[in-house]
Amino acid sequence: MESFKLNHLTLNLINKDQNSNDISVVKGDKIFHDDISNSFAKKIIETYFKKSNIERSNFNQLSGTKEPFQQLFETYLNSERHDDDFLKFNENALSILALKMEKAPQSLGGHIVLADVQMNHNFIFIAILNEKTAYLAENNKIDLIPAQILEIDKLAMAGFINIDYFKANTNENKHYISFLYGLRKIANYFVDFLGADQDRISTTMQTSELVKAIKQFINKNFAEEEREEKMQNIYDLLYNYNYKESGLLLSYLSSSIYPNQPDEFLNFVQNEENQFDIDSVIDNIDKSKIKQLVKFQYKGKDLDLSFNKDKYVGKINLIHNNKDIELLDPPKELITQLKDEGVV
């Protein structure tokens, strides 16, 4: 992670079992700034952005009044954002979260991390971490020591608010709140806690929308003999882009697709008649979905296969307990060649 600064971090604990309304809160009264907490925050963020099961939303505006967390969040942004300001923000945020969890019997407690970080953008993030038992081996001692550690690699649940997007989100198409469901599915109480709109879009959904838009645009604007190379170039860009360092601007993608008319694809996506729901900044991509842009490729010891996936949807079946493949409506030229060469 090239540029990273931890402004503030607190660690808290909410004790609560599932199917119980009994809850106790241990609020952190210390701001962490040292190298260990810096590494700790980085690890959480890296884990977060490796995932494809991220959903995006904004603060709920339907009620006409701001939810408690949004009010608290804006109060913090309007403060000097010193340590004392963040501790106050943390204390009140924990009270709101505990109240939401108390009203949700299915909720489960955990260690609550709240942080203000600066990367490519300024973020507030809140993560719920589980504990797990691990075993430590001390130097020069042949002994196992059990210890409870926080599961960073398997975030239970997390939410990020992009402060820069929030401040700039007047008429721009940017979702500034994102959620990760890790070991636990995103619960309504967590969405309610942040005051977010329940109408969320996932990384997978947005990637599917993007792939659909790209296919339509390429088929409309490029000759058939150009499409395969163009699709491969777009796939390579989307697959290899470093989303952790900065989001991929839709305008940059547009200029890469059509350099001579750099706004053409952008205008196509943002045309309301086309009804695409794609952010102007793409923070993450579902790599399994963008494979639809390129041909299916298989290279084995005795068999190579390559074909356009769109042409064979519904035409390839697994039969005989998934041991054999059936190809429906194959090209006549393929049948002729197989016969001529004595394969069938």
pLDDT digits (tens, 9 = 90+) for 320-341: 888 888 888 888 888 888 888 8
Q: Name the most confidently modeled range: 41-45, 87-91, 292-296.
A: 87-91
Q: Are residues 184 and 41 in the same domain?
A: yes
pLDDT at 61 exceeding the cut of 70: yes
Same domain assignment for residues 17 and 139? yes
User: What is the pLDDT at residue 327?
Assistant: 83
Q: Does 289 share its domain with 322?
A: no
Q: Would you state the pLDDT for residue 112? A: 95
Question: Is pLDDT at 52 greater than 70 in this prediction?
Answer: no
Find the mean pLDDT for residues 304-333: 81
pLDDT-based confidence at 285, cuts 50/70/90? confident
Instruction: Write down the pTM of the prediction.
Output: 0.69
Looking at this protein, which amino acid is placed at residue 29?
Answer: D
Statement to judge: residues 136 and 161 lie in one domain: yes
For the segment 73-132, what is each residue's pLDDT rounded down to a tens digit? 999 999 999 999 999 999 999 999 999 998 888 888 999 999 999 988 899 999 999 888
Q: Do both 90 and 181 map to the same domain? A: yes
34: its two tokens: 């040292």
Last residue of some domain: 180, 199, 218?
Answer: 199
pLDDT of residue 278: 82
272 and 302: one domain?
no
pLDDT at 295: 80
Give the highest mean pLDDT range of 36-40, 60-64, 298-302. 36-40
Burial code of 272-286, b = ≥16 C-beta within 10 A, e = fewer?
eeeebebbbbbbbbb
pLDDT of residue 265: 92
pLDDT of 170 strictly over 70: no
- pLDDT given at position 62: 73
Q: Do residues 250 and 326 both lie within one domain?
A: no
Question: Does 182 have pLDDT greater than 60?
Answer: no
State the pLDDT confidence band at 213, using cuts at 50, 70 and 90.
very high
pLDDT above 60 for 234: yes
Q: How confident is the model at residue 218 (pLDDT cuts 50, 70, 90)?
A: very high
Does 318 lie in the same domain as 255?
no
| 168-172, 175-179, 313-317: range with highest mean pLDDT | 175-179
In the block, tokens 């926080």 appear at 150
Total domains, the chain: 3
132/280 same-domain check: no
Residues 43, 134 within the same domain: yes
Same domain as 303, residue 161:
no
The predicted structure's pLDDT at residue 51: 73
219 in the same domain as 177: no
User: Mean pLDDT across the chain, nearest whole number?
Assistant: 85
Measure CA 179 to chain center: 7
Residue 191 has pLDDT above 80, yes or no: yes
pLDDT bin (cut points 50, 70, 90) of residue 63 is low
Higher pLDDT, 224 or 244: 224
Query: What confidence tier does 32 reach under pLDDT thresholds 50, 70, 90?
Result: very high
Last residue in a domain, options 138, 164, 199: 199
Domain of residue 250 covers 204-293
pLDDT at 81: 96
Give mean pLDDT, residues 181-196.
75
173 pLDDT tier (thresholds 50, 70, 90): low
At which of 141, 168, 199 does a domain end?
Answer: 199
